[in-house]
Chain A
Amino acid sequence: MKVFKKLGVVLLGVMMAMPVVQAADELVVYSGRSDKFVKPVIKQFTAETGIKVLLHSAKSTALLNKLRVEGERTQADLYLSNDAGNLQLGSEMGLFQPLPQEIVAVIDTKLRAPDNSWVGLSARARVLVANTTADTAFLNSVFDLADPRLKGKIAITHSGNGSFIAGTTVYMLAAGKEKTTEWLKGVKENAEGQTFNKHSKVVTAVASGKKAVGLVNHYYIYRHLDKKPNAPIKIIVPDQGEGGMGVAWNVAGVAVSKYTKKRDAAVKLVAFLVSEKGQQLFAEINREYPARKGIAAAAVIPPAESIKASSVEMAALGKYRGATIDLLEAVGMP
């Protein structure tokens, strides 16, 4: 039985040598946004301030759940999410603390919480991607995706996708529940039961000509064009012009935990993220629109000034998410 004794000794040693992963002076960020997009900004922040930051990445919603369960015992100093809905839900659960007005004032009020408990950092537009050879001249609204002419020709993600849910929330609030229900039914019909589990696959399907048009966040189009610059795809910014409801927006944003013990450092990080330099870095890398006015977005995407955005407040994305999911399930969206 030497094996067992040896094993015991080794195990004990390992347990004791267990590294204490977190250093005391590090800021902990629960991050629901891809590391790849956050790290460069964080690196710059650490270089300028000397404050170290530890990214703890997982799904936005899972992290929010964790914050809620942990309550005052949380180790998180900040919460970063790609979805305004999550930020607002967290705010309503009382997990965050208000940010100083003078710091967040540079961000449009529509892109932050009414009580400043979270602030938007970058915005993405929910747009259409169309194959340039397909006949899509009649397309100028997302509601046209339900047009019978597009039967079997539209590409959408499955309805469990966070961006799909957020977009549908905006349509429901801007155009009414009835119209949205009809629209979903039409889209379901046109999708013919086929959905894609990734936005990149929606774009690929449109580029290959298998589908004529897809519904995506704008940056996925440019990601595809990076790899295949000659792909026959174009962006259609829907619902513009007189009487149009405007394109659906969603923001990625940040909040400071109510129970942080490093409030000053945490607020410093927020201040950096909304500064001109921070905004440039944060949005540019994923080709999103900086939330702060006057900062230019990446050159390839349509300029923000040229886009009419829907008037739905970001905070509504949290409030009405449950209602949207109910609607999606009532229609039986795949």
Chain B
Amino acid sequence: MTKHFSVLSGVTGVVVLMAAIPLLFVIYSSFQLSAERWAGLWNTRLPELLANTVWLGFVVAVGSLVLGLSSAWLIARRKFAGRILAIWLMVLPLAIPTYVFAYIYTSLLADDGWLGLIWAALFGDGVAIPDIYTGWGAAFILSLAGFSYVFLLARTALLESSPSMEEAARMQGATPFEVFWRVQLPLLRPALAAALAVVVLHVLSDFGAVSMLRFQTFTLSIYTQMEGRMDNQAAAALSLVLVMMSLTFLVLERFFRHRQRYFSSGRSRKFEAREATMRELVMIWGCIGTIALFAFILPLVWVVHWSWHSWHAGLIGAEFWGYTQNSLLLGFIAATVTVVVGLPVALYHTRIRSWLSVSFLHLSSIGFVLPGPVVALGVITFILTQLPLLYGGLAVLMMALVVRFLPLAVQSQEAALQQLTPSIEQAGRVLGAGPLENLWRVTLPMIRGGMVTAWVLVFIDVLKELPATLILRPIGYDTLPVRIWIEASEEMLELAAPAALMLILGTLPALWIMMRAERRR
């Protein structure tokens, strides 16, 4: 092992140690739980929670895959009128937090909600409106909120895959379906695996939708332990099981992914999308339009409608801009720090395949699967006992956010790093660049797209983050999600909607930056 690798491993170690603080807290607290209470948990709660959580993760993964892959394929492989609009419509659902999604759909599907009224008009009073307070309801909401990750990564991979392989298959007489199944899909596998990992991790850590819809998953049950019973030990014990489960999932995902690596040669020929025929055009827009209607347009119209109400009622005051500013500032700082901190972890794992680098990688993902309040509690405990001087400002919240969203930054940057042909860097070394210079002048510019994507993904998630922010924000530092939560918990629709609208608007520039970076590639 050369010297610069050991420096890298040192830096990575420090980052991972920080990311593992909540885990250490969880392990420590759950060791304080007596054996009988463990047994009690095991007998009463765990089987159902395990079943529900796994089921939800699976269904949402399938749902997101179907929605995301189909839309990505249609948009990447055909030219048609309104293609840019279609891309945006598939990405914009990322701007809506799951709790807002769930909130909107519960009111849309109420007896006097828009969908409820349409349903009654179509089917009469006799047929009950579909009940959203079920596992299927939660899966529906989470698929709408998550498929964009699949879309983004699948589309990038489709654009970057070299057409020569598909053409070769075609010349050998493969049908379009065979090409898709035997050439494109295997090539897409790393991207799909990465996207599904993000989706499933979101599901495992989601609190917004499941709490609104009362679907008993680990996260919801952990909340009940903490909030209802003030029982942090039981919460920690459940969190530990959740972490084990997520790690198993991640290891499986890695296993499937790392069996194959594909290098795309630096600058290959770009794919020429074919012009869509009239029939295809109708079909494409029918498909994209339906997805967009439920995933973005309907929620947006609802939010605008209620914002308009509160604007008229004079409920939007100056402090409202303060919340927006707080949110944006928080997102900006946290995203930047997370991307910088995530880089060494991604770099280390790309360069060196050892049990150490793999463990580092998995340990860095833990913040993401732990429920927000547990991360918050772990970080707060650590800071109060080890670095009490930092307490009271933004530092605690910042640390929790970095810990929570580190895996997003690591995943995206690592995906970009993996596509780099090693020969490019080797060329740099041969030409006499030191490791740092090589990193700065060769590697970073090459993976800029991946870094921007990482930044934007983290930014958006920070903007939407609720549970940790609610607990750790400095006194009086209210952000948009905090306001949405405060108003929605008192059932003040009119007041929650404008904050949700601002949240959607606030993510637009970030999404725009990401899309622009993609187009340049």
Residues in A lying within 8 Å of B, measured CB to CB: 1, 3-4, 7, 11, 14-15, 18, 21-22, 28, 34-36, 54-59, 61-62, 64-66, 68-71, 73, 75, 89, 158, 160, 165, 194-195, 197-201, 204-205, 208, 210, 321-322, 325, 329, 334
Binds A, one of B197-205, B387-395, B402-410: B387-395
Residue of A nearest to B235 (CB): A65
Q: Is B434 an interface residue (CB 8 A)?
A: no
Given B214, B228, B332, which contacts A14 in the complex, CB threshold below 8 Å?
Answer: B332
Contacts A1-B441, A14-B333 aside, 11 further interface pairs with beta carbons under 8 A come to A1-B440, A11-B332, A35-B486, A36-B490, A36-B492, A62-B471, A73-B392, A160-B224, A197-B133, A197-B214, A321-B229
Q: How many A-B residue pairs have CB under 8 A?
A: 114
Given A54-B476, A62-B471, A73-B391, A208 and B336 touching (CB < 8 A)?
no
Q: Which residues of B contact A199 (CB under 8 A)?
A: 491
Residues in B lying within 8 Å of A, measured CB to CB: 44, 106, 110-112, 131, 133, 212-214, 224, 226-232, 329, 332-333, 336, 373, 377, 380-381, 384, 388, 391-394, 440-441, 444-445, 448, 470-471, 474-478, 482, 486, 489-492
Q: Is the interface of B mostly helix, strand, loop or mixed?
A: helix
Q: Which residues of B contact A22 (CB under 8 A)?
A: 474-476
- The answer to whether B474 touches A21, judged by C-beta atoms less than 8 angstroms apart, is yes
- The answer to whether B471 touches A208, judged by C-beta atoms less than 8 angstroms apart, is no
- The answer to whether A195 touches B391, judged by C-beta atoms less than 8 angstroms apart, is no
User: 7 tightest A-B contacts by CB?
Assistant: A34-B490, A61-B227, A54-B476, A58-B470, A21-B476, A200-B491, A22-B475
- The answer to whether B475 touches A15, judged by C-beta atoms less than 8 angstroms apart, is no
Given A65-B232, A160-B214, A4 and B444 touching (CB < 8 A)?
yes
**Assembly CA distance A19 to B376 (angstroms):** 22
Residue of B nearest to A165 (CB): B228
Residue of A nearest to B394 (CB): A18
- The answer to whether B486 touches A57, judged by C-beta atoms less than 8 angstroms apart, is yes
**Assembly CA distance A179 to B131 (angstroms):** 31
29 interchain pairs, CB-CB under 8 A: A1-B444, A15-B333, A21-B475, A28-B475, A28-B476, A54-B476, A55-B476, A57-B478, A57-B486, A58-B470, A59-B227, A59-B470, A62-B226, A62-B227, A62-B471, A65-B232, A69-B377, A69-B380, A69-B381, A160-B214, A165-B228, A194-B133, A195-B133, A204-B111, A208-B111, A210-B111, A321-B228, A329-B44, A334-B214
Q: Which residues of B contact A3 (CB under 8 A)?
A: 448
- The answer to whether B228 touches A61, judged by C-beta atoms less than 8 angstroms apart, is yes
Q: Which residues of A contact B212 (CB under 8 A)?
A: 197
**Assembly CA distance A266 to B496 (angstroms):** 31
- The answer to whether B475 touches A75, judged by C-beta atoms less than 8 angstroms apart, is yes
- The answer to whether A56 touches B384, judged by C-beta atoms less than 8 angstroms apart, is no
Given A21-B476, A34-B490, A70-B384, A62 and B373 touching (CB < 8 A)?
yes
**Assembly CA distance A54 to B470 (angstroms):** 15
Given B112, B333, B393, B486, which contacts A34 in the complex, CB threshold below 8 Å?
Answer: B486
Q: Which residues of A contact B381 (CB under 8 A)?
A: 69
Residue of B nearest to A66 (CB): B471
Q: Which residues of A contact B106 (CB under 8 A)?
A: 197
